[in-house]
Structure formats: C-alpha cells, structure tokens
Amino acid sequence: MLTVFVHRNGQTEQATAIDPEWLKPDSSVKLWVDLAGPTPDELTVLTDDFHFHPIAVEDAVAQVHQPKVENFNGYLYLILHGIDYRKAQTAFATHDTDFFLGANYLVTIHDGQMRSVAAVRDICQRNEHVLAEGPAALMHRIIDRMVDNYRPEVEELESWLDELETQVFESPQPNTVREILAVKRDIVGLRHIALPQRDAIGRLARREFAIINDEIAMRFRDVYDNLVRIADEALIFQDRVTSILDAHLSNVSARLNEVMKVLTLITVIFMPLTLVAGIYGMNMKLPLVATPDDPRPFWWIIGAMVVAVGAMLVFFKKRNWI
C-alpha cells in the first residue's frame, strides 16, 4: 500500500500521488512516502519519481539485509530492523525497514507489519508538527520506536535465562538442552542485528552526513545509547547461556556417574553371592551341603553371605563410596 503525506502551508495532508515539483531542491514541501507491503507497480515510484540508485532499489526490494547506512548523491539509504511481533511470541525475530532520506522527503519501505511506522503514521495524520519538523526528525521518531520495541524482547530473553538457570540446578528435564539451544539461537540473532544496527545509528549520531543536523544528531545519540546497552546485554546473555549449557552438561554427567556408581556397587555386592550360589548349585558332593537330616549348613551359608554383604557395605561407607 502506497501512502503519501505532504506538509505545505503549515498543514499536513494525505495525497494520492507524488507531484514532481515537491521533489525539487528549492521546494518548501516536506514529503513522506510509506510503502507498506508494496506491489511491483507501487515500487516503480523509487525509480520513476525519486530516481534512486539501482543498487539501493535492489536492496530495498530484497527481503532481508543486515542493518547499514549508505550515502548516495543527495540522500541517505538505511536498512534497520524492528521486532517481528508475529514471530517473537515464540522466538526472537526481526524484519527490515528501508529508509530513503532526502533534504525534504522520507521514503519508508517495509512488509506492512511494522508497528513503529504504523504508530508514527497515525500520529502524523493527527498532528501537523510531526512532519513539519522535517524528514530527518520523522525518521528519528520511527527508529526510536523501533529500538524501544526491543526492550520487552530483551527482558523476555533475560527472564527465560533465569528460568533455565533454576531448571538446570533444581529440576532438569529431558528437553532442557533443546530449550537452552533455542535461547542461544535467539541471542545470536539479537547480536547479529544489534551490533551492525548500533554502528549504523552511531554514524548518524556522530553527524557523518550533512543531511543530519546537530539537533537530530543529538536525538540519535539517545537511540545509539539504547542500542549500545542492548548489544552489551546480548554479549552478557551469550556468556550466560554458554555457562548454563556447560552446567547442564556437567550436571547430566554427574548424575550419570552417580547411576553408574550405584549399579557398580550392586554388581560388586552380588558377585560373591553369585559365586557361592553357583558353587553350591553344582550337581556334586560338596562340604557344608544341607541334608534332610541336618539343614544347618544351609543357614551357615546364608549367614556367611549376609556377613559378606555387610562387610562390603561397611568398607564402601568408610571409603565414602556410598
């Protein structure tokens, strides 16, 4: 869907088409073109009306790219990622939003499910000053909301890690490893997005581009600080989940050793009993064989077995094996 907002004569209104006069360098009009889940016909405005570089247009049409910022002749091209709330209910996931920032226009391209863009679009319809501040300030509003939406997901990852730590040490389950690896995958995804996104916003905050003035650069510094914290937390989460996985594997190994020790002790205890039972089970005349007239040897043998078991248990206890 193609949505066009134009601010002129102190008023913000929605237009149905783009007037080429609005894009001239001396134009006082401020323009925002939002392409939400655009069709191929709607994407032609990138080349026919704005005449963007083919490489930038190709990247904008592609589904997924790493966050970055590039400077073209007269405009900036940015790729940033926002939280995909549809998938984030079960795992950390993002989708990209493309920005073309010119002196008097902003073009946004996304899949139509970007909450940040939708929220700013609703505000823009009600308040003229949003677009009156300029395209750079408008882009900051969108990006600031995108980064703010990371915080609930980061807190959810932290809570998930706390639950896994408790589960590993108190009540490990057969699927604990699978849950740990799922969290680790999400943390890796967070780092792969947060780090390059931090660097891209950092370039805007340092005012490396003339199109970003000092006031807007100051606003981007706050966004940059938030991304720095998110990137640092992602690094801490990576260390935590690695430690949790190591602790779980060590716990599983220790439990297996305990089971093997118990089985070994049972085997050792029954070895002499099996030996005695095997000897006196042979069909031949042996000493201390009970007879109908004298059953006492049977009980002597049983008593010897009990004494042997008791002696082994005392020995194992003194060696702290049980």
Domain-by-domain residue ranges, the chain? 2-251, 256-318
Neighbouring CB atoms inside 10 A of 133's CB total 15
pLDDT of residue 76: 92
- 219: part of which helix (H) or strand (E)? helix 214-279
Task: Decide whether 2-251 matches 256-318 in CATH topology.
Answer: no
pLDDT of residue 281: 65
Residue 70, Cβ density class (10 Å: 0-12 exposed, 13-18 middle, ≥19 buried): middle
3-state helix, strand, coil in the chain (%, to 5): 60, 15, 25
Say what the pTM is.
0.76
Q: What's 283's DSSP letter? A: S
Each residue of 243-269: pLDDT tens digit?
Answer: 988 888 888 887 888 788 878 888 888
Torsion, Cα of 319, 320, 321, 322 (10° steps): 130
Q: With a cut of 50, list the residues of the chain below it in pLDDT.
A: 87-88
CA separation for the pair 273, 254 (Å, rounded): 29
- 269: part of which helix (H) or strand (E)? helix 214-279
| Of the candidates 105, 111, 99, 190, the residue with the CA atom closest to the CA atom of residue 143 | 99
Q: Are 227 and 194 in contact (CB under 8 A)?
A: yes
Spatial CB neighbours of 307, under 8 Å, sequence gap ≥ 6: none
**Which superfamily is assigned to 2-251 in CATH?**
CorA soluble domain-like (3.30.460.20)
SS3 label, residue 263? helix
Both tokens of residue 112? 């139509």
Which CATH number is 256-318 given?
Answer: 1.20.58
- 281: part of which helix (H) or strand (E)? none
- Strands 30-36 vs 105-110: parallel, antiparallel or unpaired: parallel
Each residue of 300-319: pLDDT tens digit?
Answer: 777 777 888 888 888 777 77
pLDDT of residue 289: 60
pLDDT of residue 13: 84
pLDDT of residue 88: 45
One-letter amino acid of 227: L
